[in-house]
Each structure stands twice: as C-alpha cells, then as structure tokens.
Homo-oligomer: A and B are copies of this chain.
Amino acid sequence: MFESYFSQRIKNTPSSFIREILKVTQKPEIISFAGGLPNPISFPQEELKVSMNRIADKFGAKIYQYSTTMGLDSLRQFIVDRYKRIWGMDITIDNVIITTGSQQALDLIGKVFINDGDKVLVEKPSYLGLLQAFCLYRADFVQSKLNDDGLDIEDLKNNLKTHKPKLAYLIPNFQNPTGLTYTAENRKKVFEVIKDENLILIQDDPYGELRFEEGERIPYIGLNENEKNIYLGSFSKIVTPGMRLGYIIANKEIIKMIETAKQASDLHSNIFGQYLISDYLYNNDLDKHIEKIKKLYKSQAGAMVSAMEKYFPKSVKFTHPKGGMFTWVTIQEGKSVTDLFDKAIAKKVAFVPGHPFYVNPQNVNTLRLNYTNADEKTIEIGIERLAQALEEI
C-alpha cells in the first residue's frame, strides 16, 4: 500500500540478513554461531551496578537531562588519554565525538561524506552493517581483495586507479567477517599506495583490544601521518553493547560536520549510559577486565578451531583468528552455503552465509562463524552437527 511513497534509497537497502537470521535462530534448541554477541562474561555487571548507584547519588538530575551532542567530556577525555598512551596520538576532546554505537558512526559518516554514486572502497568481504549504512546514502562500492596478510596490494592499486574512491572503509584488526588481521608490513604498503590519493581512510576497530594470541598491537595504517584518517572505536565488545556507545576520532573540521549530522540524527547519545561507562572506566582497571575476556575468547576460538580440524573434511578451509569474535569458512568450490544453511538448521546449528558481506554476491561458498557466545562443549557439538550438514550437500 505504501510502495509508491518509499524513497529510492530505502527500496535499494536490504534488511540486515543477520538480524533476520537471528529471528529464526532464537529457538533454544538451536546452537547459533550466527550472531556477533559478546559473551555476557564481558559485561562487568557488579561494577556497573556500583557505578549506576554512584552516578545517581553524585550527579542527580544531570544523568537524566538533555546533554551535548559531542558527548560527555570525561568519557571523551578517557578516550583521548588512552589513544595518547597507546598510540601517541596528538588529540584533544575536540577530536572525539561519542556516537550511538559504532553503527551510528557509519551512518553519520555516510551523511557527511557521501553524495549519490560516490565510490567507496571496502574489503571483500566487508562488514554488512557498513554496506547497509552506506547503501542508504547511495554509495557505489568497490570491493578490494583481502588476503591472509591484509589487502591485496595489486588489486588495491588497480581499484584506486580505475575507480578513484572518495572513501575507504577497512577493519584492519580481526576483521568482521573473516577474523583476519593486516600485518604491519601490509599496513605500510597500503599506506604507501594510498597516501597521495584524495582518499578519506576510515579504520573501524571494534575488536582491536581482543588480541588473545601472542603478538603486539599493530599500529593503524598511516597512524599519526595521515590527516585524512578517521578512527572508529566502541565500548560494545569490551564493556557493554547494550548502552550503544561508540566514538569517532578525526580531524576537528570533520568532527564539527559530524556534530551537525548528529544533532539532526538523535541530538545526543544516551547520557545516563555515558555517565555510567565513564564512572566505570575511571574506577576500574579496564585492561585487567579485557584480559579476562581475552582468556575466555582464546579458549572458545581454540575449541572451534580444534573441532573444525577434527570434524570438517580437509577440503573445507577456515581462518585461524588471533583475536576478535569470528572465523571465516570456505567450503568446496561449487557448493552452495544456502543449501548448507537449510541442512544446518535442520540439524539445529546456525551460521551466517557469506552473501551479505559481498556487494554483488554470486556462487558464494563462504560463511561466518561466531565463537564468543557458546561454551566449549556446545561449540564442539555445534561444529559436529555442521560437519554432518556439510556431508549432505
């Protein structure tokens, strides 16, 4: 009845495939590797309860009142201090704006930068939430090949030359959906290739803190060298996603424009949540808390990799994540993950087929598995079921 009223942009935007799948897979008998839910153990519940009572007593009405679009100063200062300490960034709170989760950061960047048909370079495969957000601003995507060590440099060069993208969106650490991380060497090469281009480089990093295998943090591409870098971060995977608190770090001129876009989008992010997370961060040891999460995810990822090695046929390949929340599985060429999905659901195990991570999906033989939201035993049972489904296609 309303078809003729809807905008072109919304008609061209797919509903999130994952969110649709999640509706199907919520039945308790199904073992779901489909979502991207952090393990509830990563929520410091006791400490947050202390903090919520403390901010209620300390700040009174302020935690319930309207607030500024840029976000709570103390929370922005925490981010500044952390990025200064870890990365030596020369920033102030004017370089930081709080967003309603990282997803809103993507929406705001779309608003601020994308005209109809502007080219945006993304990884192949890329995060579907980004594809959905930028699709609403009618971006024209270019997908650049992703190898085990990061972006394929030749493919990147060709894409830059052919398409002259205005923006690039990359997830260099424990990428969603593949779990891959760009090596330091690859990052340097990528920067060499892009540094003289008229390109805004967005690096989304929700998982960077979750490195559970040995190795150091690897610096961002063009860190402290590129004025056109935009960094996205989030408290979703290290404190709580339910508060919907992420942030953008960028040049002040960019942040100013994003502030205007955010005024129009939701005025400001939930201020109670900002006080709560800020109080939690200043009164607890975040790094110690993150160690706990990493230990858990390491054992869960280990359980999934071991089970895949034990049960999957040798022709099936998968990534060995060193952090983050996902592994990426490539089944035999010519087989269909859609068929596999149906068989898997019949066997009471769920995953996300690879399709929504591609701009123009065809003959997709890849899928994403999440390991953070099931215990080790359940992971083994689920992978065994999936192996049985693999035999039936």
Q: Which residues of A contact B (CB under 8 A)?
A: 1-2, 4-10, 13-16, 19, 35-38, 40, 43, 45, 48-49, 52-53, 56, 60-61, 63-69, 100-101, 103-104, 106-107, 111-115, 118, 129, 132-133, 135-137, 166, 198, 200, 227-228, 236, 240-244, 251, 253-254, 257, 259-261, 263-273, 276
A sample of 22 inter-chain contacts (CB < 8 A) reads: A2-B228, A6-B257, A7-B115, A10-B111, A10-B261, A13-B260, A19-B69, A35-B66, A37-B65, A43-B65, A45-B60, A64-B240, A67-B242, A101-B266, A103-B265, A104-B266, A107-B265, A132-B264, A135-B264, A136-B264, A242-B272, A243-B270
Kindly state the separation between the CA atoms of A130 and B376 in the bound complex, as whole angstroms. Answer: 50
Distance between A49 CB and nearest chain B CB, rounded to angstroms = 5
Q: Which residue of B lies closest to A258 (CB)?
A: B10
Distance between A95 CB and nearest chain B CB, rounded to angstroms = 14
Q: A103-B265, A266-B266 are in contact. List 7 more A-B contacts (CB 8 A).
A: A10-B112, A16-B264, A48-B56, A49-B53, A64-B240, A133-B264, A135-B264
Contacts of A236 in B (CB 8 A): 66
Contacts of A19 in B (CB 8 A): 68-69, 263
Contacts of A1 in B (CB 8 A): 227, 251, 253
Distance between A160 CB and nearest chain B CB, rounded to angstroms = 16
Q: Which of B10, B52, B137, B166 contacts A52 (CB 8 A)?
A: B52
Contact between chains at A244 and B265 (CB < 8 Å): no
Contact between chains at A114 and B264 (CB < 8 Å): no
Kindly state the separation between the CA atoms of A251 and B60 in the bound complex, as whole angstroms. Answer: 39
Contact between chains at B40 and A2 (CB < 8 Å): no
A103-B266, A103-B267, A266-B101 are contacts. A64–B48 as well, Cβ < 8 Å?
yes
Q: Which residue of B lies closest to A261 (CB)?
A: B10
Kindly state the separation between the CA atoms of A231 and B40 in the bound complex, as whole angstroms. Answer: 36
Q: Which residue of B lies closest to A100 (CB)?
A: B266
Contact between chains at B253 and A7 (CB < 8 Å): no
